[in-house]
């Protein structure tokens, strides 16, 4: 019997299968945090482009909500190109965005009267492509809407960041509902880092990775975004991680 490679039909099929497998095995472009302890929990070592990511504050208060927005701003700051920010409440403090690395000159703000319009604007921006990131502030993110956003992001390779903002405590429970997002984060404010002299140290956050496709949840204490959009592990948390690592190796 002749070898299967002698059959042109089978050969063509094998070539197609090989091409498809190669496409599936290609790593998606990602945006690493630059913190190995966090990046190791994410597929391909960072936040995926061509994907949707959710971020919320740890409570219904404005302080944690502001931290979530700054966390998103730091991520967007480390992308290349313009950033679209869709919202219904024009209450962002631009100097704070700049302190998180996202200069207002890079941002195009899209203000809408209704959340439905915010969703539509985000989907259109993700479909347009060529942007660094597309951010939208939303109270609710229905599964159907999240799938549309995810598909739009996949189509162009753009990164979508949904900042969940609550107007009242009862709305916070919606954050636990299923969506098509690749990752889900929660950010809560911690006391700032202590300084050897009187003054205010770098802000600190409690960062929870609540959901990640093909990965495990985790918690971190981090220093807030610096002027380039980067976070770092809080000194106390890093020390505890080192001690835990030494304990495992000595056991």
Q: What is the pTM of this model?
A: 0.82
By the 10 Å C-beta count (0-12 exposed, 13-18 middle, 19+ buried), 204 is classed as buried
Answer yes or no: is 14 within a domain. no
Answer yes or no: is 105 within a domain. yes
Q: What is the pLDDT of residue 23?
A: 47
Over range 110-139, report the average pLDDT.
Answer: 96
Give dist(CA 189, CA 206) in Å, integer: 6
CATH number of the domain enclosing 89: 3.40.50.300
Q: What is the pLDDT of residue 24?
A: 45
Closest CA to 135 of 178, 175, 77: 77
Closest CA to 68 of 125, 135, 157: 135
Answer yes or no: is 17 within a domain. no
Torsion sign across C-alpha atoms 182, 232, 200, 227: negative
Answer yes or no: is 148 within a domain. yes
The answer to whether the beta carbons of residues 82 and 131 sit under 8 Å apart is yes
Answer yes or no: is 87 within a domain. yes
Does position 32 have pLDDT exceeding 80, yes or no? Answer: yes
Answer yes or no: is 51 within a domain. yes
Answer yes or no: is 163 within a domain. yes
pLDDT band at residue 130 under the 50/70/90 scheme: very high
Domain enclosing residue 92, as ranges: 30-188+208-220
The predicted-structure confidence for 158-177, as pLDDT tens digits, reads as follows 999 999 987 777 677 778 88
Provide the domain count of the chain. Answer: 1
Angle at 224 between CA 236 and CA 44, to 5 degrees: 90
Q: What is the pLDDT of residue 2?
A: 43
Over range 226-238, report the average pLDDT.
Answer: 85
Answer yes or no: is 234 within a domain. no
């Amino acid at each position: 019997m002749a070898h299967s490679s002698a059959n042109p039909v089978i050969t063509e099929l094998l070539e197609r299968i090989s091409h498809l497998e190669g496409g599936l095995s290609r790593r998606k472009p990602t945006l690493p945090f630059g913190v190995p302890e966090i990046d190791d929990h994410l597929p391909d070592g960072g936040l995926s482009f061509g994907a949707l990511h959710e971020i919320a504050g740890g409570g219904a208060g404005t302080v944690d909500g502001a931290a979530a927005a700054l966390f998103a701003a730091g991520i967007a700051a480390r992308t290349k190109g313009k950033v679209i920010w869709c919202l219904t409440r024009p209450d962002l403090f631009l100097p704070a965005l700049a302190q998180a690395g996202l200069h207002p000159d890079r941002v195009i703000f899209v203000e809408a009267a209704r959340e439905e319009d915010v969703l539509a604007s985000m989907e259109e921006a993700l479909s347009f492509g060529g942007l660094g990131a597309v951010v939208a502030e939303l109270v609710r993110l229905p599964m159907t809407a999240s799938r549309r956003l995810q598909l739009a992001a996949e189509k162009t390779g753009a990164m979508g960041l949904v900042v969940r903002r609550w107007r009242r405590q009862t709305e916070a429970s919606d954050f636990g509902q299923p969506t098509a997002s690749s990752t889900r984060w929660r950010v809560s404010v911690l006391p700032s880092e202590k300084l050897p002299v009187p003054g205010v140290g770098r802000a600190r956050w409690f960062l929870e990775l609540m959901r990640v496709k093909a990965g495990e949840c985790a918690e971190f204490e981090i220093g807030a975004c610096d002027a380039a959009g980067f976070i770092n592990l809080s000194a106390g948390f890093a020390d505890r991680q080192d001690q835990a690592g030494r304990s495992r190796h000595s056991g």
